[in-house]
Amino acid sequence: MRWLVSGCLVLGACHLAEAADPVKCEPGSHPLNGQCAPDALSGPVVRIASCVLTPDSIKVAPNAEFRFKNEDAVDRTITGDDGKVWATAKAGLDSPILSITKPGTWRYRVSDCPNGGAVVVE
Asked if the model's pLDDT at residue 5 lies above 60, the reply is: no
pLDDT, position 26: 75
How far, in Å, CA of 89 to CA of 45, rounded? 12
What residue segments make up the domains of the chain, in order of their start? 2-36, 42-121
Would the pLDDT of 14 be above 60?
no
What is the distance between the alpha carbons of residues 111 and 122, in angstroms, rounded to a whole number? Answer: 26
pLDDT of residue 21: 64
Q: How far is Cα 76 from Cα 120, in angstroms, rounded to an integer? A: 21
pTM of the shown model:
0.69
The rounded distance, in Å, linking the Cα atoms of 76 and 95 is 9
**pLDDT band, residue 9 (cuts 50/70/90):** very low
Please compute the mean of the pLDDT values over residues 92-119 and round it to a whole number.
96
What confidence tens digit (pLDDT) does each residue in 15-25 have? 445 545 678 88
Tens digit of each residue's pLDDT (9 = 90 or more) over 61-88: 999 999 999 999 999 999 999 999 999 9
- Please give the Cα distance from 72 to 74 (Å, whole number): 5
Kindly report, residue by residue over 30-44, the tens digit of the pLDDT.
Answer: 787 888 777 776 789
Q: How far apart are CA 28 and CA 36, in angstroms?
A: 10
Give the architecture (CATH level 2) of 42-121.
Sandwich (2.60)
The more confident residue out of 18 and 58 is 58
